[in-house]
Structure 1
Amino acid sequence: MIFKVYYQETKDRSPRRETTRSLYLEIDAQTELEGRIQARQLVENNTNYNIELIEALSENHLAYEKENANFALTEFPS
């Protein structure tokens, strides 16, 4: 599954919509909930980001993101 993670680059300030960024993760999970948990752990273990939302992308949403956004999967070191 592909997950889109919305985040703020710092935990020091209150979240502002204008500074929300996103990244994409490919997670091998049995359920969406398990995937969200794994995605949160990956981001928290490898960054200082303030996570706002994690969503699983449907096939249509993923196709849209690939065509209209700066789509690139993020990989963290194991």
Structure 2
Amino acid sequence: MIFKVYYQESSKQVAVRENTKTLYLEAESELDVRKKLAHKAFNIEYVQAVKGAFLEYEQKNEDYKVLEIE
């Protein structure tokens, strides 16, 4: 399943909407996403499953890239 992760680049950074970045990651669950990103110093705001029409819409975005993290 594909997940969209909203995050700040530093875990010390206060969540400010204008600074929020996103990435896409293939994982089994939200917990799996968080485990895969644990080695990064991200401040993860929200993890959202992306499927159906929403996934199709996101795939049309030029910034859409699914990260491959083991």
State if a TM-score over 0.5 links the two structures: yes
SS at match of 2:67: coil
| Pairwise CA RMSD | 1.2
Q: What is the aligned residue count? A: 70
Query: Where does structure 2 lack aligned partners over 5 or more consecutive residues?
Result: none
Using structure 2 for the length normalisation, give the TM-score: 0.90
Q: 1:31-70 residue pairs with structure 2 within 5 A?
A: 35-45=29-39, 47-70=40-63
- What is the identity percentage for the equivalent residue pairs of Structure 1 and Structure 2? 37
Runs of 4+ in 1 over 3 A off after TM superposition: none
More helix by share: 1
Structure 1: give runs of 5+ residues left out of the alignment. 30-34
Matched, 1:75 2:64: no
Question: TM-score, with normalisation over the residues of structure 1?
Answer: 0.82
